[in-house]
């Protein structure tokens, strides 16, 4: 796998990957998607990463990482447990990964504007998180979500509290 940055400040990456699906011959394709610098360190030539493939178009591939089995889930759980609370307004939502068999929660990239009572100004973040199927209606443009965060950043310490958002708590 090789990585090229299209622009110096652009987070979108162009990656050449070899896809291996059960029962099929491996094939190469190009993937263009946003990848953080931290994630890019785990996507070096020869590394194995997980992907989702559109069964109708095998060239449509989305790459994703699972951090040490449970690190990502632990991080989100920790943010939700210990983080400060804010209200988020949905500015944009786009699918990143989907279980085409409909058995898993879709992963969406969410652009949000956050407001917290103890912060002087709202700020914008971009996060990528699984969205429970029951909560898909909550990610419409302008919708309000309950979130937790540790610090004002670009989204690295933000987690949506789907339970609170669904119940209105």
User: By C-alpha distance, which of 3, 157, 147 is closest to 89?
Assistant: 147
Q: Are residues 146 and 95 in the same domain?
A: yes
Which CATH number characterizes residue 150's domain? 2.40.50
pLDDT at 64: 79
**Residue 19, SS3 per DSSP:** strand
Q: Which of 41, 64, 87 is the last residue in one of the domains?
A: 64
Q: How many domains does the chain have?
A: 2
Asked if the model's pLDDT at residue 63 lies above 90, the reply is no
pTM equals: 0.57
Q: Which residue has the higher pLDDT, 93 or 100?
A: 93
Q: Which of 17, 40, 64 is the last residue in one of the domains?
A: 64
Q: Are residues 78 and 12 in the same domain?
A: no
Asked if the model's pLDDT at residue 9 lies above 50, the reply is no
Boundaries of domain holding 90: 71-167
User: Using one digit for the tens of pLDDT, what is the confidence trace for 44-55?
Assistant: 766 677 888 888
């Amino acid at each position: 796998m090789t990585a090229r940055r299209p622009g110096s400040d652009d987070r979108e990456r162009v990656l050449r990957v070899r896809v291996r699906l059960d029962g099929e011959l491996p094939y190469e394709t190009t993937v263009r998607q946003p990848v953080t610098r931290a994630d890019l360190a785990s996507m070096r030539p020869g590394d194995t990463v997980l992907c989702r493939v559109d069964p109708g178009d095998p060239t449509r591939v989305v790459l994703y990482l699972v951090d040490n089995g449970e690190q990502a889930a632990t991080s989100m759980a920790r943010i939700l447990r210990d983080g400060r609370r804010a209200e988020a307004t949905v500015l944009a939502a786009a699918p990143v990964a989907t279980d085409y068999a409909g058995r898993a929660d879709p992963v969406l990239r969410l652009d949000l504007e956050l407001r917290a009572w103890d912060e002087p100004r709202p700020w914008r973040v971009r996060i990528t998180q699984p969205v429970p199927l029951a909560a898909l209606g909550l990610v419409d443009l302008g919708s309000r979500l309950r979130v937790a965060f540790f610090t004002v950043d670009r989204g690295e310490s933000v987690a949506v509290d789907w339970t609170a958002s669904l119940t209105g708590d």
